[in-house]
Amino acid sequence: MWIGGQWMDSETGETITVINPANGELVGSVPKGGRTETEQAVRAAEQAFPVWSGLTAADRGSYLKKWAEEIRREREPLARLLTFEQGKPLSEALEEVDAAADFSEWYGEEAKRVTGEILAGSKPKQRILVIRQPVGVAALITPWNYPATMVTRKMAAALAAGCTVVLKPASQTPLTAVFLMQLLEKTGLPPGVANLVTGAASEIGRALMENRSVRKISFTGSTEVGKQLIQSSAGQVKRLSLELGGNAPLIVFSDAEVDRAVKAAVGNKFENCGQMCNGINVIYVHERLVEEFLQQLTERVRSLRVGFGWEPGTQIGPVIDEAGREKVAELVRDAVMRGARVLTGGRLLTDGQLANGTFYAPTVLSDVTYDMRVTQEEIFGPVAPVVSFSDEEEILKRVNDTPYGLAAYFFTRDIQKAFMAAERLEFGMVAVNGTSLSVPQAPFGGIKESGQGREGGHYGMEEFLNIKYISMNL
Ligand code: NAP
């Protein structure tokens, strides 16, 4: 753990082990911190706050730009570590590390662009000033699926805004966070500005929630834990931003280009072995195109190379753990029991060198209907269920009928339909004729039970700033 500029073990000496999901081998271990270490980290962040928030925005930004440089310099080892603890193919890990650096660089530049306003007074001698100030100590809680970008996307925005932070990464993938903090240390960041606590989630979470000095919680993870955090933050009315689960539809309208839609569907659906919050959950294809779509999709999915992420050519790694894989298998079993057809995959991969990992075969399901759990729940695995539809009005209603609202995708060549559907879809993000969404300058985030608040762009910095209104009477 990194607290107040010092690297330390937990008070009890206990550790948590990090296992490679591809082969079950030990990757390393981190301290199992709890309440004591969390309180220490919050104190360190509190002490560092006046110094850090008192720097010029340009100075704060320069640390972030240096962090981006350090991340790029260590691109390869960082990506390899990420692959070992998380399982994704090295090519994807490299992309993630690049994106992590991009977030830090972008916020390094954006730090300078925090502005205020002067409004007309209500009396001749009144002036109204609106200024923005950092919220204070921010706690950042990150998930295992993107262990590098989730850290920098939050932390760079918080630091740029002038906040000091305590980071709690996911226990399955804490080593990437440790490496990132070592790189941040190299920038000469003043002690206590950024702190890292690893360990028992519920204990650390409680200590953060009960500490009055923590003014903001930024969480990415499951909707279930997000809801708990809403409840536990109520006592002190802490500011919260929540990036939670999703159930993203991909709609292929009758006038879509099938090749393009299939290529994009495979790229998005099978990225990170399907473990992406904004990943396509279910594919809805117009009945006129469904046969051709399924044929092309199945062909492509069948040719995906499953294996160890560090081996060249691997396209699909393991599911993060046995519980994750079992959930995927259970959803497929439920779909098959209710009449879905497995066009490829639909089974655990346990042969040969995959035996000790948590691999699941890339899967395509056809004849999928709305009573199947795959259409209602976040699959978080390499399974593409395909639903055929005929009525475009009805399909928009159907896909909106979910408690989630993170991302939606559709393909059409009709400009009228593109605007109509983009506006009617009840999701925080919509991509038309493509699937790319997470970029530093854009507001990433969801509505409904997919969360609140945004990450990325100036929107992401607003989450770490308070607005103050000053009435100045001359
Ligand atoms: P998770 O179980 O909710 O865990 C996320 C983080 O919260 C981990 O660091 C975890 O620590 C911590 N945590 C767990 N219980 C906590 C508690 N009571 N108090 C405080 N912290 C607690 O989620 P996950 O399974 O790692 O991540 C997958 C989920 O994240 C999916 O639903 C996915 O859609 C969502 N996600 C959303 C976005 C987005 O931008 N909307 C991005 C990525 C992922 P431990 O690991 O120590 O338990």
DSSP states of 203-272: HHHHHHHH-TTEEEEEEES-HHHHHHHHHHHGGGT-EEEEE----EEEEE-TTS-HHHHHHHHHHHHTGG
Q: How far apart are CA 338 and CA 125, in angstroms?
A: 73
Ligand 1 close to Cβ of residue 143 (< 6 A): yes
Active-site entry in 37, 92, 277, 449: 277
Q: Which residue has the tokens 């919680």?
A: 217
Ligand 1 close to Cβ of residue 171 (< 6 A): yes
Q: Which helix (H) or strand (E) holds 473?
A: strand 465-473
Ligand 1 close to Cβ of residue 170 (< 6 A): yes
**DSSP SS3 for 110:** helix
Residue bearing the CA closest to ligand 1, atom 6: 143
**pLDDT per 10-residue tile (average), the chain, 474 residues:** 98 97 98 98 98 98 98 98 98 98 98 96 97 98 98 98 98 98 98 98 97 98 97 96 97 98 98 98 98 98 98 98 98 98 98 97 98 97 98 97 97 98 98 96 98 98 98 96
Centre of ligand 1 from the C-alpha of residue 221, in Å: 3
Q: What DSSP letter does each residue of 406-469 carry, written as one string?
A: SEEEEE-S-HHHHHHHHHHS-SSEEEESS-----TTS-B--SGGGEES-BSHHHHHHTTEEEEE
Q: How far is CA 182 from CA 1, 5, 70, 78, 319, in A?
A: 10, 10, 10, 11, 28
What integer pLDDT is reported at residue 223 of this predicted model? 96
Ligand 1 close to Cβ of residue 197 (< 6 A): no
Q: Which residue has the tokens 């991009």?
A: 102
Does the active-site annotation cover 163? no
Residue bearing the CA closest to ligand 1, atom 4: 221
Buried-state track 77-91, b at ≥16 Cβ within 10 A, e below 16: ebbbbbbbbbbbbbe
Q: How far apart are CA 60 and CA 75, in angstroms?
A: 23
What integer pLDDT is reported at residue 112 of this predicted model? 97
Q: How far apart are CA 7 and CA 408, in angstroms?
A: 42
Q: Which residue has the tokens 């396209």?
A: 315
Q: Retrieve residue 379's tokens.
A: 């699959």
What integer pLDDT is reported at residue 286 of this predicted model? 98
Active-site entry in 243, 378, 449, 462: 243
Residues 6+ apart with CB under 8 A from 398: 284, 370, 389
What integer pLDDT is reported at residue 94 of this predicted model? 98
What integer pLDDT is reported at residue 26 of this predicted model? 98
Q: How far is CA 306 from CA 264, 343, 348, in A?
A: 19, 17, 12
Residues 6+ apart with CB under 8 A from 138: 158, 163, 164, 165, 166, 214, 215, 216, 217, 218, 464
Ligand 1 close to Cβ of residue 451 (< 6 A): yes
Centre of ligand 1 from the C-alpha of residue 256, in Å: 35
The region, left, alpha or beta by phi > 0 then psi within -120 to 50, assigned to residue 65 is alpha
Centre of ligand 1 from the C-alpha of residue 79, in Å: 21
Q: Is the dihedral of CA 96, 102, 107, 110 positive or negative?
A: negative
Q: How far apart are CA 87 and CA 102, in angstroms?
A: 22
Closest alpha carbon to 441 in 458, 453, 428: 458
Ligand 1 close to Cβ of residue 227 (< 6 A): no
Q: Which helix (H) or strand (E) holds 185?
A: helix 174-186
Ligand 1 close to Cβ of residue 449 (< 6 A): no
Ligand 1 close to Cβ of residue 251 (< 6 A): no
What integer pLDDT is reported at residue 131 of this predicted model? 98
Written as one letter, the residue type at 65 is: K
250-283 pLDDT per residue, tens: 999 999 999 999 999 999 999 999 999 999 999 9
Q: What DSSP letter does each residue of 199-216 carry, written as one string?
A: B-HHHHHHHHHH-TTEEE
Ligand 1 close to Cβ of residue 228 (< 6 A): yes
Q: How far apart are CA 113 and CA 100, in angstroms?
A: 21
Q: How far apart are CA 96 and CA 90, in angstroms?
A: 10
332-336 own/partner pairs: CB under 8 Å, 24+ apart: 332/363, 332/365, 332/374, 332/383, 334/372, 334/373, 334/374, 335/365, 335/368, 335/372, 335/373, 335/374, 335/385, 336/365
Q: Retrieve residue 383's tokens.
A: 């399974």
Closest alpha carbon to 198 in 471, 2, 456, 421: 2
Centre of ligand 1 from the C-alpha of residue 29, in Å: 19
Best residue among 244, 320, 326, 402 to mutate for probing ligand 1's pocket (most ligand atoms within 8 Å of CB) is: 244
What integer pLDDT is reported at residue 145 of this predicted model? 98
Centre of ligand 1 from the C-alpha of residue 371, in Å: 27
Closest alpha carbon to 349 in 327, 333, 330, 325: 325
Which of ligand 1's atoms lies nearest the C-alpha of 242? Answer: 41
What integer pLDDT is reported at residue 186 of this predicted model? 98
CB 96 within 8 A of CB 82: yes
365-393 pLDDT per residue, tens: 999 999 999 999 999 999 999 999 999 99
Q: Which residue has the tokens 């055929």?
A: 388
